Amino acid sequence: MLKRFVQLFFVVVGGMLGFLFVPDLIRILNIGNVPSQLTSAYAGAVIGALIFFLLTFWISDYIVGLIRWVEETLVKAPVAEVLFGTLGLIIGLIVAYFGSIQLNHVSIPVVSSVLPFFITFLLGYLGFQVGFKKREELGSLFSLNRAGKERKKEAEEEKKRNKYKILDTSVIIDGRIADICQTGFLEGPLIIPRFVLEELQHIADSSDVLKRNRGRRGLDILNRIQKELSIKVEIYEGDFEEVSEVDSKLVKLAQLLSGIVVTNDFNLNKVCELQNVLVLNINDLANAVKPVVLPGEELVVQVIKDGKEHNQGVGYLDDGTMIVVEEGRNYIGKTIDVLVTSVLQTSAGRMIFAKPKLLEKAL
């Protein structure tokens, strides 16, 4: 098939050359007794095609062998060599094309006809050689570009991870934030707004003993985070005087710094979500790491008080999860086996509903 294609190519080329040059060649050679039909361009095309067709019987095998050799060389060559060699060839041909356009305006026949062909061949060859031999440098250039994009992407991800974490009053008083920072689950600088510190100080100075203890606990937690932990802590001195509520100030500060509010306040959590402010709820984290309880599982619980509904009893697991025991009022003060009937889990916490196992057996 390839040999037939080569023969067809030679016939077409021979016909074109015969069409252009055979009549002039006959006139130049001044061959006598030549019929006028043979001096026409179409007759020249037939003569040229015939001559080149006869030549193919001699050189077609060599050309097919050359094509096969080029094909095997390209197949065995690494992809990078072929790619950059081809790229250099294309660039060389493009440069040669624009150079040939300028040479076409030259009135010297040899320059305008022969030189563009020579330049095209030369620049195409040089482009291929440069691309082939400089493949490693060009490859490193592309890899540097790719590495730069990867570094930029990593920097953006790092910036995203290192967003300011803005602590609210409730999460500081809660105290679990210090343990979370110590374990490394919370990254990035912590921001303590000045208005949160003032609220903590106001709570610590309260006449109510319970509130005073909570406020002092919050200040102790902040002192522990600053002195004992490696995480960076910054005090934000600004304020939003036009806003009176601390929660609203926290939301505005998060919007200003493109930060994340850290809280365990259910209502503040909802306000942040409504205003498209990122929020980390400590209760969500606590619920996520609690053991999964499925309906039908058995638990051992001590019923300690009445529930809100009739005949309900309330108990707690070791992690503080509330268990509402149906018909559990009669077991107050006792430790009983219960069967889980359903689980309710929200950002405010998790609640497990169960019924006594003894009641299940009686049924």
Residue-wise pLDDT tens digits, 151-205:
666 656 655 556 788 888 888 888 888 888 888 888 778 888 888 888 889 999 8
Distance in Å from the first CA to the final CA of the chain: 88
Among 23-37, 99-113, 225-239, the range with the most confident prediction by mean pLDDT is 225-239
Q: What is the pTM of this model?
A: 0.46
- Of 10-14, 79-83, 84-88, which gets the smallest average pLDDT? 79-83
* Cα 156-160-163 angle, rounded to 5 deg: 135
d(CA 306, CA 291): 25
Domains (ranges, CATH) in the chain?
A: 2-136 (no CATH), 162-287 (3.40.50.1010), 294-362 (2.40.50.140)
Per-residue pLDDT, 82: 65
d(CA 271, CA 257): 17
Report whether pLDDT(269) > 70.
Answer: yes
Among 13-27, 29-43, 145-159, 266-280, the range with the most confident prediction by mean pLDDT is 266-280
**Confidence label for 284 from pLDDT (cuts 50, 70 and 90):** confident
Q: Which residues contact 55 (CB under 8 A, 6 or more apart)?
A: 10, 14
d(CA 137, CA 346): 58
Q: How many residues does the chain have?
A: 363
What is the dihedral sign for C-alpha 274, 277, 283, 285? Answer: positive
For 201-222, what is the mean pLDDT? Answer: 88
* Whole-number Cα distances in Å, 87 to 42, 81, 213: 40, 10, 75
Q: Are strands 322-325 and 349-356 parallel, antiparallel or unpaired?
A: parallel
Tell me: the pLDDT tens digits for 311-363?
Answer: 889 998 877 788 899 988 888 888 899 999 988 876 556 788 999 887 655 44
d(CA 211, CA 204): 7
Q: What are the structure tokens assigned to 35, written together?
A: 């019929």
Tell me: the pLDDT tens digits for 322-332?
Answer: 889 998 888 88
Per-residue pLDDT, 27: 66
CB-CB neighbours of 30 under 10 Å: 7
Higher per-residue confidence, 76 vs 182: 182
Average pLDDT score, the chain: 77
